[in-house]
């Protein structure tokens, strides 16, 4: 099986998938799609033919594209079940998905690149206002997520096993720092991050380790 990930170093959704691939020991190659250069390579016909939503990530499996990071995680979970990234109990599985969706549906889409760009162009807002927009929506979502982690977390976001919730949380924390979120308000999220930051799969998936990373 040939597996390729179309990714961008700072794409938080690509990062989720990179962590899963590393955790599950899947051999894969990275193809960089630059989200900013030349107006964004995600808008070019080649990429659009693979993902009509013009987004990253796209997982290519023997030439077949699948997009939407959560759908990709589900695919990987089915094809590479070990280590499991979902609990066995149905209610706990639902809870992990609930936590992941707080980020996947409730935070990331509101601060996605094209939303920010459109905010700037439509309302003629300065960059500082775009940052404030993202900061507020991340804080709103983290406030909810923090309560869930307080109730259901353990060593990790949900219990003591790494799950989808952690795969979504760690990249979103990185974004939160980019948008000046006051993270001391969310101590349980930071505790989970400190458990995972040196984990080999999480370290390998970090933006700075990607072939297209731009390190100043
Ligand atoms: N729900 C999608 C969201 C994908 C998404 O928004 N990806 C961002 C990068 S994290 C992107 O490609 N943005 C391109 C743009 O805004 O033009 C997923 O989970 O894959």
pLDDT tens digit string along 117-141? 998 889 888 889 889 999 999 999 9
pLDDT of 12 above 90: yes
H or E element: which one contains 66? Answer: strand 64-67
State in Å: Cα 89 to ligand 1 middle: 30
Ligand 1 atom with least separation from CA of 113: 16
Distance CA 1, CA 93 (A): 28
- The C-alpha angle with vertex 166 and arms to 162 and 169, in degrees rounded to 5, equals 175
Chain-wide mean pLDDT for the chain?
Answer: 97
Q: What is the pTM of this model?
A: 0.98
Burial label, 147 (beta-carbon count in 10 A; 0-12, 13-18, 19+)? exposed
Residue 124 confidence (pLDDT):
86
Ligand 1 atom with least separation from CA of 33: 12
Alpha carbon nearest to ligand 1 atom 17, residue:
114
Residue 183 confidence (pLDDT):
98
pLDDT of 197 above 90: yes
Mean pLDDT of 40-45: 98
pLDDT of 3 above 90: yes
Mean pLDDT of 55-70: 98
Mean pLDDT of 34-40: 96
Distance CA 194, CA 8 (A): 24
């Amino acid at each position: 099986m040939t597996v390729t990930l179309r990714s961008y170093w700072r794409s938080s959704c690509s990062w989720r998938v990179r962590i899963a691939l590393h955790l599950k020991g899947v051999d894969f190659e990275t193809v960089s799609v630059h989200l900013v250069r030349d107006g964004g390579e995600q808008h070019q016909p080649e990429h659009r033919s693979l993902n009509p939503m013009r987004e990253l990530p796209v997982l290519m499996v023997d030439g077949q594209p699948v997009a939407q990071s959560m759908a990709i995680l589900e695919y990987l979970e089915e094809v590479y079940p070990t280590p499991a990234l979902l609990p066995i109990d149905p209610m706990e599985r639902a809870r992990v998905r609930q936590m992941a969706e707080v980020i996947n549906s409730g935070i990331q889409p509101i601060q996605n690149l094209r939303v920010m760009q459109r905010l700037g162009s439509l309302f003629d807002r300065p960059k500082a206002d775009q940052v404030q927009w993202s900061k507020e929506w991340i804080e709103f979502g983290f406030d909810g997520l923090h309560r869930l982690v307080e109730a259901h977390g353990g060593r990790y976001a949900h219990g003591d096993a790494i799950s989808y919730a952690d795969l979504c949380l760690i990249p979103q924390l990185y974004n939160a720092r980019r948008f000046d979120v006051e993270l001391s308000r969310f101590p349980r999220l930071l505790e989970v991050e400190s458990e995972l930051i040196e984990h080999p799969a999480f370290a390998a998936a970090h933006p700075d380790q990607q072939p297209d990373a731009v390190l100043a």
